[in-house]
């Protein structure tokens, strides 16, 4: 097997030349069918058998796609409960087929579908969404904490996009995320969003989901999310029309025996399932021998990491959070998938909020292979998440050269000189889950403030404070009047070091402006760009772990947030305001 096609599958050839620049395979759709809100069937619904009758069905669901028309998508997005039959497999199973059962569930969704539409735009386009909240009224009695009693109020975040966070004109909102829990878009209400992508916006994979403090966990867990694909007028990294593109959400379900997850307590106190891909448990992906596909994984789970590896194949990882690497691929295979220690952190592990884009080339040897979620720090056991069947007529395809990956002026390295020339400000910020009596918190806790779940609520979250703050200060949760706000000057360049006081690798996510990560635990690394950064695990108050990044705060003033993308942590208070001022 050492010299088999299986072990060589997908390896780039040193002698390979760049492929020609064929038109994108959806050019005809863009030319003939571009309309505001035009919904087209998934491009992935093609025959992988080479024209012969396909012996194996491809069962990975894919969302419909909505394409811009004359630079605009203008749609309604309706949040409502929908009855669905969902697969539920208790825990991670490294076996195929895993044991699962179908559950009739009542879950919050967008537009009544299992998958919300994928929105396809070019840089410079405009996205208009009228968010309609048709969820039932809020239950004001389930929690002793008043801010948790708005589980059916909502709002809408455009995760990873570099866009205006403000109310851009009366009644029309950008990526507006500073609602209080009792505000937002209440049941029965609407909100108009208008997102104007800059003409120089990077291409790649982004997503949209709710983000109202106190209700985010259950709404995302239920499936209220969808993808955004941004292209550019230059068609950067323009892949051959023969390369099939798949958008794959990965998450777990936490459901009661009655098939519900209506609030934060139910989420925290119920067992979770194995991973599902686009809502399907262990779906089948069909490829032809030698075929190359382009997979965008989005970790929409609210807590667990996802670390993909495909048996006897190499995945050629080229972008994190929509940001391409410096004209090279990173290999993901059985030998590299566990490499997360020290300066390698986090390797190819995706924490909640992360998006990884990669090319996969099927083996020239027909057969069945398994896509697995490898064991990762704070993850569950290794599990099989999909079956990959390689069959049909072979195809000859060459991986595109990584030297074709684009370089963007807005994402050039942030040097020591640039930092110094633009203010040179540094910040040290702490993320920590602490007992309510911890001396690291403001003590005594101010009377009347809701810092922690009381024991009388009989919930597993009782007595823990999910807190943040600047180094050298006492910590507090977001819902406190004492919570920190990070005030930043427009066009400043800053360096932040984030400290983790817990064993869990809190995934730090900041809105609007991406981060240039330069250090892990104080050691220099090969820098990369991201918008969601898991902090190294196994921190403690005595010996915190850390990540250091730099950011350019360009283009937009206004208030937005950073937070832990383990969404129960965010809902409980691990979040801060950022305000960019001119």
Say if residue 211's pLDDT is above 50: yes
Regarding whether 350 and 302 lie in a shared domain, the answer is yes
CA atoms within 13 A on the CB side of 40: 20
Domain final residue pick, 177, 202, 231: 231
Better-scored residue on pLDDT, 234 or 535: 535
Domain final residue pick, 207, 231, 255: 231
Element (H, E) at 158: strand 157-159
Regarding whether 132 and 44 lie in a shared domain, the answer is yes
- Helix (H, G, I), strand (E, B), or coil: what is residue 129? strand
Q: 60-87 burial string, b = 16+ CB within 10 Å, else e?
A: bbbbbbbbbbeebbbbebbbbbbebebb
- Helix (H, G, I), strand (E, B), or coil: what is residue 32? helix
Regarding whether 379 and 451 lie in a shared domain, the answer is no
Regarding whether 290 and 337 lie in a shared domain, the answer is yes
Say if residue 31's pLDDT is above 60: no
Q: Which of 200, 121, 550 is nearest to 410 (CA)?
A: 200
DSSP code of 491?
T
- Identify the band that residue 232 occupies on the pLDDT scale cut at 50, 70 and 90: confident
CB atoms near residue 103 (< 10 Å): 18
Regarding whether 333 and 316 lie in a shared domain, the answer is yes
* CATH at residue 191: 2.60.40.420
> Do the domain assignments include residue 314?
yes
> Do the domain assignments include residue 22?
no
Over the stretch 529-553, which tens digit does the pLDDT of each residue have?
A: 999 999 999 999 999 999 999 999 9
Q: Which residue range is the domain that position 122 belongs to? A: 27-88+98-231
Omega cis (within 30) before 63: no
> Do the domain assignments include residue 20?
no
Regarding whether 193 and 64 lie in a shared domain, the answer is yes
> Do the domain assignments include residue 21?
no
Q: Distance between CA atoms of 15 and 398, rounded to whole angstroms?
A: 11
Regarding whether 284 and 181 lie in a shared domain, the answer is no
DSSP code of 418?
H
Of the candidate ranges 86-90, 283-287, 366-370, the one whose mean pLDDT is the lowest = 86-90
Regarding whether 244 and 226 lie in a shared domain, the answer is no
Of the candidate ranges 6-20, 63-77, 277-291, 391-405, the one whose mean pLDDT is the lowest = 6-20
Omega cis (within 30) before 444: yes
CB of 516 closer than 8 Å to CB of 510 = no
Say if residue 576's pLDDT is above 50: yes
Over the stretch 125-164, which tens digit does the pLDDT of each residue have?
A: 999 999 999 999 999 889 999 999 999 999 999 999 999 9
- Bridge partner residues of 495 (DSSP): 426, 550
> Do the domain assignments include residue 301?
yes
Regarding whether 80 and 217 lie in a shared domain, the answer is yes
Over the stretch 411-438, which tens digit does the pLDDT of each residue have?
A: 999 999 999 999 899 999 999 999 999 9
- Bridge partner residues of 435 (DSSP): 464
> Do the domain assignments include residue 189?
yes
- Reading the block at residue 571, the tokens are 């809902």
- Reading the block at residue 425, the tokens are 């400000």
Regarding whether 262 and 389 lie in a shared domain, the answer is yes
Residue 270 has phi, psi (to 5 degrees) of: -115, 155
Regarding whether 558 and 488 lie in a shared domain, the answer is yes
Element (H, E) at 87: strand 72-88
Write the DSSP string, 271-312.
-BB--EETTBSS-EEEE-TT-EEEEEEEE--SS--B-EEETT
Omega cis (within 30) before 97: yes
pLDDT for residue 238: 66
Residue 29 has phi, psi (to 5 degrees) of: -65, -40
- Reading the block at residue 522, the tokens are 């104080």
CB of 525 closer than 8 Å to CB of 343 = yes
Q: Which of 465, 481, 479 is nearest to 431 (CA)?
A: 465
Say if residue 39's pLDDT is above 80: no
> Do the domain assignments include residue 93?
no
As a whole number, mean pLDDT of residues 32-58 equals 52
Domain final residue pick, 198, 231, 264: 231
Q: Distance between CA atoms of 552 and 514, rounded to whole angstroms?
A: 8
Q: Distance between CA atoms of 67 and 117, rounded to whole angstroms?
A: 10
Q: Distance between CA atoms of 218 and 215, rounded to whole angstroms?
A: 6
Looking at the structure of the chain, the number of domains it has is 3
Regarding whether 359 and 468 lie in a shared domain, the answer is no
- Identify the band that residue 50 occupies on the pLDDT scale cut at 50, 70 and 90: low
Triad 223, 226, 229: Cα angle to 5° = 160
CB of 145 closer than 8 Å to CB of 450 = yes
Where do we find the tokens 């040193």? 14
Q: Which of 78, 55, 64 is nearest to 131 (CA)?
A: 78
Element (H, E) at 269: helix 264-269
> Do the domain assignments include residue 386?
yes
């Amino acid at each position: 097997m050492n010299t088999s096609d299986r072990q060589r599958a997908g390896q780039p050839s040193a002698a390979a030349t760049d492929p020609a620049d064929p038109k994108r395979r959806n050019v005809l759709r863009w030319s003939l069918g571009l309309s505001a809100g035009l919904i087209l069937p998934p491009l992935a619904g093609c025959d992988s058998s080479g024209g012969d009758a396909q012996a194996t069905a491809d069962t990975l669901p894919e969302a419909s796609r909505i394409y811009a028309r004359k630079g605009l998508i203008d749609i309604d997005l309706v949040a409502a409960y929908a009855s669905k039959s969902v697969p539920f497999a208790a825990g991670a199973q490294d076996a195929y087929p895993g044991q699962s059962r179908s559950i009739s569930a009542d879950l919050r969704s967008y537009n009544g579908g299992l998958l919300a539409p994928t929105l396809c735009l070019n840089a410079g386009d405009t996205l208009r969404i009228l968010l309609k909240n048709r969820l039932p009224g809020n239950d004001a009695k389930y929690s002793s904490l008043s801010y948790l009693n708005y589980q059916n109020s909502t709002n809408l975040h455009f995760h990873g996009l570099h866009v205006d966070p403000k109310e851009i004109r009366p009644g029309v909102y950008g990526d507006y995320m500073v609602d209080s829990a009792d505000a937002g878009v209440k049941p029965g209400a609407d909100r108009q969003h208008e997102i104007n992508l800059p003409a120089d916006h990077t291409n790649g994979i982004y997503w949209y989901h709710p983000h109202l403090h106190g209700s985010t966990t259950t709404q995302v867990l239920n499936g209220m999310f969808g993808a955004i694909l941004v292209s550019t007028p230059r068609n950067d990294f323009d892949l051959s029309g023969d390369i099939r593109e798949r958008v794959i959400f990965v998450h777990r379900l936490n459901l009661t025996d009655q098939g519900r997850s209506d609030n934060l307590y139910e989420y925290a106190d119920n067992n979770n399932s194995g991973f599902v891909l686009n809502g399907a448990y262990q779906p089948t992906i069909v490829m032809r021998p030698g075929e190359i596909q382009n997979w965008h994984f989005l970790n929409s789970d609210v807590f667990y990491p996802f670390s993909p590896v495909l048996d006897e194949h190499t995945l050629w990882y080229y972008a994190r959070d929509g940001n391409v690497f410096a004209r090279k691929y990173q290999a993901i295979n059985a030998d590299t998938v566990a490499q997360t220690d020290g300066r390698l952190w986090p390797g190819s592990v995706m924490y909640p909020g992360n998006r990884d884009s990669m090319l996969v080339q099927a083996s020239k040897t027909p057969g069945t292979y398994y896509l697995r979620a490898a064991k990762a720090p704070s993850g569950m056991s290794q599990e099989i998440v999909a079956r990959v069947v390689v069959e049909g007529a072979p195809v000859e395809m060459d991986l595109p050269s990584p030297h074709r990956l684009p370089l963007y002026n807005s994402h050039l390295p942030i040097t020591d000189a640039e930092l110094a020339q633009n203010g040179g400000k540094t910040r040290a910020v702490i993320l920590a889950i602490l007992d309510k009596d911890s001396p690291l918190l403001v003590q005594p806790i101010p009377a009347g403030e809701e810092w922690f779940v009381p024991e009388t609520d009989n919930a597993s979250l009782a007595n823990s404070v999910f807190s943040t703050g600047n180094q050298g200060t006492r910590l507090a949760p977001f819902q406190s009047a004492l919570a920190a706000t990070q005030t930043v000057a427009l066009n400043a360049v800053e360096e932040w070091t984030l400290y983790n006081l817990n064993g869990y690798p809190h995934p730090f996510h900041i809105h609007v402006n991406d981060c240039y990560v330069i250090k892990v635990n104080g050691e220099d690394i090969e820098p990369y760009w991201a918008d969601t950064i898991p902090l190294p695990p196994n921190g403690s108050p005595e010996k915190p772990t850390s990540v250091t990044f730099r950011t350019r705060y360009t283009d937009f003033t206004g208030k937005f947030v950073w937070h832990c993308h383990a969404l129960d942590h965010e809902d409980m208070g691990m979040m801060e305001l950022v305000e960019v001022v001119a």
